[in-house]
């Protein structure tokens, strides 16, 4: 990006990109459409990658920004890789690569799109990230582009097909990890793969075969990434470590919940009617499937085998997820609910319940809002119930 345009983008970084594009006649000699696109990307960067919110940065096509890691997730990943020589097969915008450079001594990044590769080189120059070398090429031909052994190889396969439709299965992504992994393991003992959150973890472990550990990474109440560490040896799928982790904006763990599928299988849940407090596990824990161990470790009782909500008589601190105080347990009945919720406003969720929250709201005559939370649930004796809850005073969620 030419210096004049870069300055224009920075000076107008707080403008509405759409309105700026409409006012292009006010800025003769300025490529306003390109500037507006850069301003839009820069504004997203301010929230997603605050370290990159600075003058002089250039952002390639929007698709690269969509799949790019957040700074929080990139910082977390940088804490997983061994120091030394790292090969990134899927550079993209290069956020992960940049934060890997904080711990690795040498990094080579491969990017097949020349425009994106040029943008990465430019941004690394602005960021003074001198440890990173970007090569334009096809990652499946990495053996012709780089030589030697690496302490880590990282890849984040593109999750769009040739028609730009979203995909997530390993063999639909590019590069195809299943076809490539054996070649990768000839050049490193540590492969780290970022996968789509919706991918089935157990199936992935079976397909990848060489999985040593899995991380489910949650940020701001949402599962952002699932990471797979591969090594030369193979372990039974039931004995690998799976870790659900919530992180803060600096990539530090707010909680860690590690387990093996074998331990989850052997755990014995305890069921109960709703008691005084209700616990909704964090998204990463729900994704992990370790619901029996969750109840066991925090001394919580489960409402039903397939209702992933838990209860206790006394308040248990430090439970990852949301905590509520149960005000009343009602039948799924409009008159009964209107008595329990006279303001007729509530946030509604369902767990193992026949109706959706939208249908529940319509049937019960409720509108969104207020301080009441309703959970439509199935209890351990198969009864359908509606739990009327409020947030406990001064109890932060984890």
Nearest to 244 by CA among 286, 207, 306: 286
Question: Do 113 and 21 belong together in one domain?
Answer: no
What is the count of structural domains for the chain?
A: 3
User: Does residue 198 contact residue 168 with C-beta atoms inside 8 Å?
Assistant: yes
Question: Do 349 and 330 belong together in one domain?
Answer: yes
pLDDT (mean) for 386-398: 88
pLDDT (mean) for 64-88: 91
Alpha carbon distances (Å) from 320 to 83, 220, 295, 376:
31, 13, 11, 21
Q: What is residue 162's predicted lDDT score, i.e. its pLDDT?
A: 63
| Confidence band, pLDDT 50/70/90 cuts, at residue 61 | confident
In a domain, 150, yes or no: yes
Distance CA 317, CA 346 (A): 25
User: Does residue 178 contact residue 206 with C-beta atoms inside 8 Å?
Assistant: no
SS3 call for 76: helix
Kindly report the backbone phi and psi dihedral angles of residue 308, in degrees, each rounded to the nearest multiple of 5, phi listed first.
-85, 60
| Confidence band, pLDDT 50/70/90 cuts, at residue 163 | low
Question: Do 70 and 190 belong together in one domain?
Answer: yes
Per cent of the chain over pLDDT 90 is: 89
Question: Any alpha helices (H) in the chain, and if so which ranges?
Answer: 3-11, 17-22, 32-48, 62-67, 71-78, 95-100, 114-126, 142-145, 177-184, 201-208, 261-266, 283-288, 291-297, 334-340, 357-364
Q: What is residue 87's predicted lDDT score, i.e. its pLDDT?
A: 98
Q: What is residue 171's predicted lDDT score, i.e. its pLDDT?
A: 82
pLDDT (mean) for 5-31: 93
Nearest to 270 by CA among 242, 238, 243, 297: 297
Question: Do 94 and 223 belong together in one domain?
Answer: yes
Last residue of a domain, one of 213, 231, 261: 261
The whole-angstrom distance between residue 211's C-alpha and the CA centroid of its chain comes to: 20
| Confidence band, pLDDT 50/70/90 cuts, at residue 161 | low
Last residue of a domain, one of 261, 294, 314: 261
Per cent of the chain over pLDDT 70 is: 97
Distance CA 213, CA 198 (A): 18
Residues 354, 357, 361, CA angle at the centre, nearest 5°? 110
Nearest to 274 by CA among 356, 354, 375, 366: 375
pLDDT tens digits, 117-133: 999 999 999 999 989 99
Structure-token pair, residue 155? 């890849």
Question: Do 101 and 198 belong together in one domain?
Answer: yes
| pTM > 0.85: yes or no | yes
In a domain, 395, yes or no: no
pLDDT tens digits, 222-255: 999 999 999 999 999 999 999 999 999 999 999 9
Q: What is residue 251's predicted lDDT score, i.e. its pLDDT?
A: 96
In a domain, 87, yes or no: yes
Mean pLDDT for the chain overall = 94
Over 90: is that where the pLDDT of 153 sits?
A: yes
pLDDT tens digits, 166-209: 766 888 888 999 999 999 999 999 999 999 888 899 999 999 99
Nearest to 98 by CA among 57, 76, 131: 131
Last residue of a domain, one of 242, 261, 280: 261
| Higher-confidence position of 260 and 162 | 260
Over 90: is that where the pLDDT of 270 sits?
A: yes
Nearest to 64 by CA among 17, 118, 135: 118
| Confidence band, pLDDT 50/70/90 cuts, at residue 159 | confident
Tokens 């079976």 locate to 206
Alpha carbon distances (Å) from 23 to 3, 8, 15, 18, 36:
21, 14, 11, 9, 11
Residues in contact with 317: Cβ distance below 8 Å, sequence separation at least 6, in sequence order:
395
Distance CA 11, CA 93 (A): 23
In a domain, 315, yes or no: yes
Residues 358, 364, 369, CA angle at the centre, nearest 5°? 65
Question: Do 197 and 236 belong together in one domain?
Answer: yes
- Spatial strand order of the sheet with 384-390 comes to 301-304, 307-312, 277-281, 321-330, 384-390, 373-378, 347-351
Question: Do 211 and 277 belong together in one domain?
Answer: no
Question: Do 209 and 223 belong together in one domain?
Answer: yes
Structure-token pair, residue 28? 């003769």
Nearest to 71 by CA among 287, 225, 191: 225
User: Does residue 254 contact residue 283 with C-beta atoms inside 8 Å?
Assistant: no
In a domain, 396, yes or no: no
Structure-token pair, residue 120? 């990465």
Over 80: is that where the pLDDT of 106 sits?
A: yes
Q: What is residue 166's predicted lDDT score, i.e. its pLDDT?
A: 73
Over 90: is that where the pLDDT of 2 sits?
A: no
Question: Do 100 and 244 belong together in one domain?
Answer: yes
Nearest to 281 by CA among 379, 193, 366, 349: 349
Question: Do 91 and 138 belong together in one domain?
Answer: yes
Question: Do 107 and 176 belong together in one domain?
Answer: yes
Q: What is the CATH number of the domain that holds 86?
A: 3.40.50.150
In a domain, 397, yes or no: no
SS3 call for 162: coil
Question: Do 45 and 134 belong together in one domain?
Answer: no
Over 80: is that where the pLDDT of 396 sits?
A: no
Q: What is residue 68's predicted lDDT score, i.e. its pLDDT?
A: 81
Residue range(s) defining the domain that contains residue 191: 66-261
């Amino acid at each position: 990006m030419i210096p004049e345009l870069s300055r224009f983008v920075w000076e107008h970084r707080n403008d509405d990109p759409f309105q700026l594009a409409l006012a292009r006649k006010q800025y003769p000699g300025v490529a306003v459409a390109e500037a507006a696109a850069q301003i839009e990307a820069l504004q997203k960067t301010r929230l997603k990658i605050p370290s990159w919110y600075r003058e002089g940065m250039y952002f390639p096509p929007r698709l690269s920004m969509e799949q790019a890691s957040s700074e929080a997730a990139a910082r977390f990943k940088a804490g997983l890789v061994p120091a030394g020589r790292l090969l990134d097969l899927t550079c993209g915008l290069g956020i992960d690569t940049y934060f890997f450079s904080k711990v690795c001594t040498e990094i080579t990044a491969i990017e097949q799109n020349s425009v994106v590769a040029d943008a990465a080189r430019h941004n690394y120059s602005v960021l003074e990230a001198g440890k990173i070398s970007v090569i334009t090429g096809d990652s499946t031909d990495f053996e012709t582009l780089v030589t030697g052994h690496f302490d880590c190889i990282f890849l984040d396969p593109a999750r769009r097909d040739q028609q730009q439709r979203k995909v997530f299965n390993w063999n639909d992504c590019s590069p195809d990890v299943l076809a490539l992994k054996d070649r990768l393991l000839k050049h490193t003992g540590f492969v780290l793969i970022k996968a789509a959150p919706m991918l089935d973890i157990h199936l992935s472990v079976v397909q990848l075969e060489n999985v040593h550990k899995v991380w489910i990474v949650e940020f701001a109440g949402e599962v952002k990434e699932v990471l797979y560490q591969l090594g030369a040896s193979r372990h039974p799928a039931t004995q690998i470590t799976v870790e659900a982790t919530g992180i803060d904006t600096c990539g530090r763990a707010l909680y860690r919940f590690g387990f093996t599928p074998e331990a989850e299988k052997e755990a014995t849940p305890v069921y109960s009617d709703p008691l005084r407090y209700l616990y909704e596990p964090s998204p990463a824990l729900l994704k992990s499937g370790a619901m029996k161990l969750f109840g066991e470790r925090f001394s919580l009782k489960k409402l039903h085998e397939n209702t992933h909500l838990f209860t206790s008589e006394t308040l248990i601190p430090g439970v990852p997820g949301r905590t509520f105080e149960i005000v009343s347990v009602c039948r799924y009945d409009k008159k009964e609910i209107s008595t329990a919720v006279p303001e007729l406003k509530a946030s509604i969720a369902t767990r193992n319940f026949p109706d959706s929250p939208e249908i529940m709201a319509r049937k019960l005559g409720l509108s969104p809002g207020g301080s009441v939370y309703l959970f439509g649930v199935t209890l351990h004796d198969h009864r359908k119930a509606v739990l009327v809850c409020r947030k406990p005073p001064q109890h932060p969620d984890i």
